[in-house]
Amino acid sequence: MLKIQAERLRRGWTQVDLGYRARVQPADISRFERGQARPYPKQAVRLARVLKLSIDELLQPAEAVAS
């Protein structure tokens, strides 16, 4: 599981919820979480800001990021 997905689930948000907050399409979030795509730089900045993560942490495996 990627950190983006773990943080979204920790907050109890759906992909639609996160997409609305970060102005990113839910389908894109799904692709990011499945490792099928990487966010464009502007998407990464928005997602990181909403999830309060660094851009580097965003797509790391959830286990690799220290809490």
Q: Rounded to 10 degrees, what is the CA torsion of 28, 30, 36, 41?
A: 40
Q: Which pLDDT score, from 0 to 100, does residue 66 have?
A: 52
Give me the CATH topology for the region 3-61. Answer: 434 Repressor (Amino-terminal Domain) (1.10.260)
Length of the chain in residues, anyone? 67
Q: Can you say whether the dihedral through the CA atoms of 13, 44, 29, 27 is positive or negative?
A: positive
* Ranges of each domain in the chain: 3-61
pLDDT at 6 over 90: yes
Q: Which pLDDT score, from 0 to 100, does residue 26 have?
A: 98
The structure tokens listed for 43 are 């998407």
The pTM for the full model equals: 0.87
What tens digit of pLDDT does each residue of 8-67 get? 999 999 999 999 999 999 999 999 999 999 999 999 999 999 999 999 998 888 875 454
